[in-house]
Amino acid sequence: MPAKNVSEGIPGAQAVSRALRVLRAVAKGRTIGINLAQLVRDTELNKPTVHRLLLALIADGMVEQDTSSLRYFVGRECYVLGGIANERFGLGRDAADIVARLARTSGDSAFFSIRSDVFAVCVLREDGDFPLKTHVLQPGTRHPLGVGAGSLAMLAAMRDDEVERCLKANREILNRHYANFSAALIRDEIAVTRQHGYSVNEGLVVQGSWGLGAAVHSPQGEVVGALTIAAVESRLPKARQAELGAVLLDAAQTLERHLVRAAAFRSDSPSRSARTKKHTIG
C-alpha cells in the first residue's frame, strides 16, 4: 500500500514521491524480485507511469531488471547509499547481532525496524528455532506508526505532540487499509505501552500473529527504531509477555549503548585524523 504523500504543494514533489513509492515496492521483493503487474497493484499507479519510473530508476542504478525473468530488484546504487546511511546511523552489525540473539533466546522471530517520519520500516528479521512462525513482518514492510508492536513502541516513546502529528498524518491510510486501528485505539495502546515500558500487539494486524516491541533511542534521545519479537498467539501468554518484554528492554538498552559508543567514535574521528596527519607531516 502506498504511503501518503507528505510533500504536497512542493514543486516536482509528486514525481519524486511516485518514484520512491516504486522503489520501496521493488525493495519488498528482496531476493526474489517483483514483476510489473505486482508493482502496479502495490503502488496503485497506472502501468505506463510505473514503467516510466522504473526506466528512470534503472538508468540511475537504483533498480535492476533480470533479463531472463524480467523481475525487478533493488540496484547497486541502493547498496552504496545504504552503506553511507549505515555509517551515519551506526545501526548495522550491532543491531543484526542483537536481533539474532533475541531470536536464539526466544526461539521466535525477532526484528529491528527503523522510524521513517510517520512510518516504521522493518529492516532486519531473524527466525528462531520454533517451527511455527508468523510471517506478517518482513524486511521492507512499512506500517504507519502505531500499527504493530515495534511501530507502537516507537510512537509511545515520542512526545504527545509528535504522537498527534503522526496520527493526523496517517489518518487516511489508517481508515483505508487498517480496519482494526483507529486513533482512539492507538492512544489507548500507547497508554498501556508507557505503563509497561514495552508494547504488545495481540493480533491486531493479522489475527493469531502477536508481538512485543521496545523502542530504541539515539544518543540525542530521539526515537530511531524498535526491537520486536513476534510469535503465534499460543506462544505469548501474559507471563511470557512479561518475561520477553524485560528481555527486549534490556536488548534495546544494549543497542542504545552501542549507538552512544559509535557516535563518540565518529565525533572523535576528525580530530584523530588531524593528529595523524600532523604527525605524518612532522
Q: What pLDDT shows up at residue 275?
A: 53
Does the residue 272 lie in any domain?
no
Look up residue 42 and give its three cell numbers. 502495490
Same domain, 77 and 133: no
Does the residue 187 lie in any domain?
yes
Does the residue 43 lie in any domain?
yes
- Measured CA to CA, the distance from residue 154 to residue 167 in angstroms comes to 13
Q: What pLDDT shows up at residue 137?
A: 86
Domain C-terminal end among 81, 102, 131? 81
Q: What pLDDT shows up at residue 89?
A: 60
Helix (H, G, I), strand (E, B) or coil at 29: coil
Does the residue 216 lie in any domain?
yes
pLDDT along the chain (282 residues), means of 10: 52 84 87 91 93 93 91 86 66 86 96 93 92 86 94 98 96 92 96 97 93 95 95 96 97 93 68 50 46
| Total number of domains constituting the chain | 2
Q: Answer yes or no: are the C-beta atoms of 54 and 66 closer than 8 Å.
A: no
Same domain, 103 and 218: yes
Helix (H, G, I), strand (E, B) or coil at 120: strand
Same domain, 62 and 40: yes
Same domain, 231 and 201: yes
Same domain, 26 and 109: no
Domain that holds residue 158: 90-265
Same domain, 191 and 226: yes
Does the residue 61 lie in any domain?
yes
pTM of the entire predicted model: 0.73
- Measured CA to CA, the distance from residue 40 to residue 239 in angstroms comes to 44
Q: What angle do CA 193, 141, 121 make, to 5 degrees?
A: 55
Same domain, 103 and 233: yes
Q: What pLDDT shows up at residue 77?
A: 86
The CATH number of residue 53's host domain is 1.10.10.10
Does the residue 251 lie in any domain?
yes
The CATH number of residue 172's host domain is 3.30.450.40
**DSSP strand pairing (109-116 vs 223-232):** antiparallel
Same domain, 28 and 168: no
- Measured CA to CA, the distance from residue 142 to residue 209 in angstroms comes to 17
Q: What pLDDT shows up at residue 280?
A: 47
Same domain, 257 and 170: yes
Does the residue 142 lie in any domain?
yes
Same domain, 172 and 193: yes
Domain C-terminal end among 81, 104, 135? 81
Same domain, 219 and 201: yes
Same domain, 137 and 204: yes
